[in-house]
Structure 1
Amino acid sequence: TTMPGSLPVNAESCWPKDVGIVALEIYFPSQYVDQTELEKYDGVNAGKYTIGLGQSKMGFCSDREDINSLCLTVVQKLMERNSLSYDCIGRLEVGTETIIDKSKSVKTVLMQLFEESGNTDVEGIDTMNACYGGTAALFNAINWIESSSWDGRYALVVAGDIAVYATGNARPTGGAGAVAMLVGPNAPLIFERGLRGTHMQHAYDFYKPDMVSEYPVVDGKLSIQCYLSALDRCYAVYRNKIHAQWQKEGTDRHFTLNDFGFMIFHSPYCKLVQKSVARLFLNDFLGDQNLETANSVFSGLEAFRDVKLEDTYFDRDVEKAFMKASAELFNQKTKASLLVSNQNGNMYTPSVYGCLASLLAQ
């Protein structure tokens, strides 16, 4: 007998096929700060932001735009460009951490666009947790379509933020923008079922405790450590899940970065993404069962065979060696995705989807 709540044998057959992103739209402000000019203005060494962080420009909003207008614009553009009527949307969820009202959601503001159609039967609200809200909203949309709540209509996911920092080290890592994604079955870009790796943890690396300020409190070093350790954990969970899936299908081999067509990341700044590719390559190296590295992709890295992941977040030798060893991987599978990030900065919740848009556009 199967346990209550477990999967019935024939459950697969009744799920909608190929649920994923059907259409995608991006919007960011037309104003920007040139990072070379910001270097001069801040009195720092030339190249600190452009080479050190990998950033060229930083988008910002004038007083004519706010989080509501960014999201209104990106949704209207998506709907018009794809000739969609507003009654074909059954769920709309917004991921954002740009909170301008402690009660009213951005989602309700977006309902203005639906008024003419008469469609008020639209599930979903705002989802808030730092830069993760957009991804949570996307997962919720996919889950809704694959659930008994689904009524056959599309889900619309909006991720939008305005990232601004007080004067200091973090200021050049700001940005602003919004991405809207239409989610449905028979999508050209599908999400593989059962292959999501999550890591959740309590930390005070980035938070906004001051209700009258839009500036976050940031512990830069801890923030990078949180990012890299979450990356390690998510990759480990993902590899275990796909390995188990492959074993079921009769293939007994381990997943490596070679199995990815492309790799896109949440991008606080471009250099961290390049370091993240190196980080995943380090994971592959430490998980490699074949200790004979001389003729493999890991040749020259033998000295690092015994390092522990949790000791290497700020190890310059490890970072340098693995960035060099993974440079080809980065150029082939990730570099193209950084266009918007490099030219506009960190959009917070839509950051990773801006990377997706960059990749698809090229």
Structure 2
Amino acid sequence: MKIGIDNIGFYTSNLFLDMAKLAKKRNEDPNKYLIGIGQEKMAVIPKTQDIVTLGANAASQIVTDDLMDEIDLVIVGTESGMDNSKSAAAYIANLLGLKNSIRTFEIKQACYGATAGLQMAKDYIQIHPDKKALVIGADIAKYGLKTKGEPTQGGGAVAMLVSANPKLLAFDGDSTYYAEDVMDFWRPLGYSEAKVDGKFSTNVYLDFLSHVYADYQDTYGAKLTDFASFAFHLPYTKQGLKAIKFLIQNEPEEVQASYLNKFEASRKYNKIVGNLYTGSLYLSLLSLLENADFLKENDKIGLYSYGSGAQGEFFAMKLVEGFQSVLTGKTKNLLAKREEISVEEYEKIYQSTLNYRDNEVFDVTEDHARYVLAKIDDTKRIYIKQF
């Protein structure tokens, strides 16, 4: 029995910041952002959006009325949780109108959370093949204004429907994984902005890739050319470029050139959204699927998931027959319709999202998303469906 991703949905806000303009405002060479980290635009998340609304808006792209009775597991991977107790999944299931006979919970392990959820959903469907699971990676990346990490911010959510006999991608074999207790990135309790040792984190990312990829090759007898392409966790897209260069370093020049060219399709969306933390790998996967003209049925895609702290995992998925019918172009349309804002507007929005006051009511008239955060009432977050 094949198990895999039946459909993928993505959502981010309708606002973005031009990275070249941010660079100039920060007295930096624009190429430091455009080429040095590989980012062109940054999604800016307003106060009326958080991981709950982002996740619900992403899920609404793929959860149709005929699926309501089949979904009985909702998992949210995030490191931007809104509550120390209640899961984002509980809020999202309610907003979507899913049935009550359902399991909902949240997973935290930095940017690896959605992959953990995906693997749990795979195991669940294995013994419940008549059901479907909804796995969401939703985050808002914050490092602070005028910090080194500022140009790697972003936000959004990716939602994946996991099922038997999937219409898009099927798992191909098992995973290889590796973990260590390291302090490359962390966010202490009470902090809204992350702490990161950037150079160290980059080195750990690549070190973990070398562990899991070598283990995968040894375990399954795989070679690079078994894969049509790869998708990587992309905290910034230059990181993925380093990853693919690491994998192809011992290959002939023509093979290296081919995989480097293919990599560009996998980072097209991430370049203009920024860091999604738990959703970054899967936005890269979606970018590859919707922008690559070389993919065909039964092609194998290698995926590398990394979460600081740290956890790495490598696994493979195969494109199933008729996968093209699932790719609707909604993501391209969403990103094309966004509105550019100034650096000053971005800074104002950023500052407003650092503190949420009790009994605060939000102006949702400028937010045209289906699901929005309307107010905070006696510390309770109140969400509404606008259409």
Shorter-chain TM-score above 0.5: yes
Give the Å deviation of 1:212: 2.5
Instruction: Tell me which residue corresponds to 1:21.
Output: 5
Q: Is the 8 A contact 2:39 2:236 kept in 1?
A: yes
**CA distance, structure 2, for counterparts of residue 182 and residue 60 of structure 1:** 26
Q: Equivalent of 2:72, from 87, 90, 103? A: 90
User: Match of 1:49, SS?
Assistant: helix
Q: Is the 8 A contact 1:25 1:179 kept in 2?
A: yes
**CA distance, structure 2, for counterparts of residue 46 and residue 181 of structure 1:** 35
Instruction: Tell me which residue corresponds to 1:248.
Output: none
Give the Å deviation of 1:281: 1.8
TM value normalised by structure 2: 0.72
Amino acid in the other structure paired with 2:223: T
**CA distance, structure 2, for counterparts of residue 260 and residue 193 of structure 1:** 13
Task: Report whether the alignment pairs 1:125 with 2:54.
Answer: no
Instruction: Tell me which residue corresponds to 2:239.
Output: 272
Instruction: Tell me which residue corresponds to 2:135.
Output: 157
Q: Is the 8 A contact 1:163 1:175 kept in 2?
A: yes
Higher helix share: 1
Change beyond 3 A, Cα 1:273–1:151: closer
Instruction: Tell me which residue corresponds to 1:317.
Output: none
User: Match of 1:228, SS?
Assistant: helix
Structure (1 or 2) with the larger CA radius of gyration: 1
- Matching of residues 1-362 of structure 1 within 5 Å: 17-80=1-64, 83-113=65-95, 115=97, 119-147=99-127, 150=128, 152-166=130-144, 167-188=146-167, 189-194=169-174, 196-209=175-188, 211-243=189-221, 255-282=222-249, 285=250, 297=252, 326-331=256-261, 333-362=262-291
Amino acid in the other structure paired with 1:215: E
Q: Is the 8 A contact 2:77 2:114 kept in 1?
A: yes
Q: Is the 8 A contact 1:76 1:113 kept in 2?
A: no
Give the Å deviation of 1:191: 0.3
Deviations 1:176-225 (A, max 9, x none): 0101111111113100132x11111110000001x232111100111001
Change beyond 3 A, Cα 1:151–1:356: closer
Q: Is the 8 A contact 2:90 2:104 kept in 1?
A: no
Deviations 1:205-249 (A, max 9, x none): 00001x232111100111001100011011011111211xxxxxx
Q: Is the 8 A contact 2:87 2:104 kept in 1?
A: no
Give the Å deviation of 1:84: 3.1
Q: Is the 8 A contact 1:74 1:180 kept in 2?
A: yes
Higher strand share: 2
* Sequence identity (%): 33
Q: Is the 8 A contact 1:35 1:56 kept in 2?
A: yes
Q: Is the 8 A contact 1:270 1:338 kept in 2?
A: yes
Instruction: Tell me which residue corresponds to 1:3.
Output: none
**CA distance, structure 2, for counterparts of residue 341 and residue 53 of structure 1:** 12
Q: Is the 8 A contact 1:60 1:162 kept in 2?
A: no
**CA distance, structure 2, for counterparts of residue 340 and residue 298 of structure 1:** 27
Q: Is the 8 A contact 1:175 1:347 kept in 2?
A: yes
Give the Å deviation of 1:107: 0.8
User: Match of 1:345, SS?
Assistant: coil
**CA distance, structure 2, for counterparts of residue 260 and residue 151 of structure 1:** 27
User: Match of 1:157, SS?
Assistant: strand
Deviations 1:19-56 (A, max 9, x none): 00011111111111110011011111231100111110
Deviations 1:259-297 (A, max 9, x none): 111111001111111111111123xx3xxxxxxxxxx71
Change beyond 3 A, Cα 1:151–1:113: farther
User: Match of 1:125, SS?
Assistant: strand
Q: Is the 8 A contact 1:90 1:151 kept in 2?
A: no
Runs of 4+ in 1 over 4 A off after TM superposition: none
**CA distance, structure 1, for counterparts of residue 96 and residue 9 of structure 2:** 18
